[in-house]
Amino acid sequence: MKKYLGIFLMFLLVLSTSACKKNEEPKEETKKVTKVENQTEEHEELPEVTTPSNQNPLTGLPDLSEGAIGKRPVAVMINNHEAALPQYGIAQADIMYEIPVEGDISRMMAIYGDYTTVPKICPVRSCRAYFPSFALGYDAFYVHWGSDDTIWDYLLSLNLDMYDGMSNAGGLFGRDENRLAAGYSLEHTGYFDGTGFASLVASEGKRTDLSEALQGKTAFQFYGLDEQVKPQGQDCRQIHINFGATTTDFSYDEASKTYLKSVYGTPQMDGNTNTQLAYTNVFILETEISVRDEEGHKDVNWRGGKDHVGYYISNGAVQKIHWEKAQDERSQLKFYDESGKEIQVNRGKSYIAVNYAGQSTFS
């Protein structure tokens, strides 16, 4: 009897435990949010975004060397005259600006997020006031070869950390002898040896840490590391930008999901790496540009405003946006959709054209 009673009691215990489990509420599962093109699946909870410690604030990619984490980038003026091609050292830039100068020939400004790995760059060209106005938004060191003489008071007021090839500041500038021998004009031969830049700023005791205002911030509001999102707009495989005397074109490469750059009707190549310039993101910012003197120097509205039209192109589509630098030169460049909400962009290298209104076409 005791044996059967024990079995009966064990049977009751199993039934009781099973009933209790059925009455418990199921545990909530935390699901990831996955973005595909323009669609977002609805889930109960958003996961926290993990930011890699070596995230490059200019691209969002985890590729900074350890010595460059939290440090200032370097902006370098690039000669973009047709007779100066091909340039070299420019394919490594994380952000590339292109803006018209005298005669509506464009000039470029290459920005490198890792100040310890800046390459040798040629040909370096002179400063125009609106380029450092953009460079300061990244707290960048500013490298150039001469400048428009009428803007020195303005440049001094900006308190820039400038390195000028006219004075061979830091001993990192020179003339490319191979280019001279090949018949390039003198103004198309100036180089900046960025490989020695980190040592130079250390010897000078220059501030290398990003400003407090930019610590922990990125140049853009990036999507997640594993996301590749298509902007809300029409398909865009080809881009044409008319600066006046210079024309720039982009073709979308599906395999790399980048836009390949051409200039003056031919692929724009880095002469050292023999690679075509390629960008995940293309921005075209329309603004007011006028001629201010007999030399043809220009005034460019670099502040923009929420009524200033622009375009964001990535992943095979173009989206109309608005842009501004809200306060002063040190303000970050911001991009908004047509409802006024700040947009997110894909991680990768970016190209930014600042140009006259209505001079770009998309197909």
- Give CA–CA dist 343/231, Å, rounded: 9
Tokens of residue 211, six digits = 């400003």
Residues 293-310 have a mean pLDDT of: 96
DSSP code at position 316: T
Q: What is the pTM of this model?
A: 0.87
d(CA 305, CA 325): 7
Does pLDDT of 186 surpass 70? yes
What CA–CA distance (Å, rounded) separates 242 from 347? 27
Contact of 254 with 340, CB cutoff 8 Å: no
Query: pLDDT class for 10, splitting at 50, 70, 90?
Result: very low
Average pLDDT for the chain? 89
Residue, of 363 and 50, whose pLDDT is higher: 363
Q: Which residues pair with 173 in a beta bridge?
A: 192
Q: Give the pLDDT confidence of 17-50 residue by residue, as tens digits.
A: 444 433 333 333 333 333 444 433 343 443 455 6
What's the rounded mean pLDDT across residues 156-167? 95
- Tens-digit pLDDT profile for residues 195-214: 999 999 999 999 999 999 99
User: Quick one: pLDDT band at residue 13, thresholds 50, 70, 90?
Assistant: very low
Q: In a 3-state reduction of DSSP, which class is residue 35?
A: strand
Hey, what long-range contacts does 215-219 have (CB within 8 A, 24 or more apart)?
215/70, 217/57, 217/332, 218/55, 218/57, 218/58, 218/60, 219/57, 219/58, 219/95, 219/138, 219/332, 219/333, 219/350
Cβ pair 349, 279 in contact under 8 A: yes
82-103 pLDDT, tens digit per residue, is: 999 999 999 999 999 999 999 9
DSSP state of 155: H
Report residue 51's pLDDT band, with 50, 70 and 90 as the boundaries: confident
* pLDDT at residue 37, rounded to an integer: 44
| 4 pLDDT higher than 70 | no
Average pLDDT over residues 103-115: 98
Residue 68 near residue 113, CB atoms below 8 Å: yes
pLDDT of residue 326: 86
pLDDT tens digit string along 144-157? 999 998 999 999 99
Considering only CA atoms, which of 124, 92, 116 is closest in space to residue 202? 116
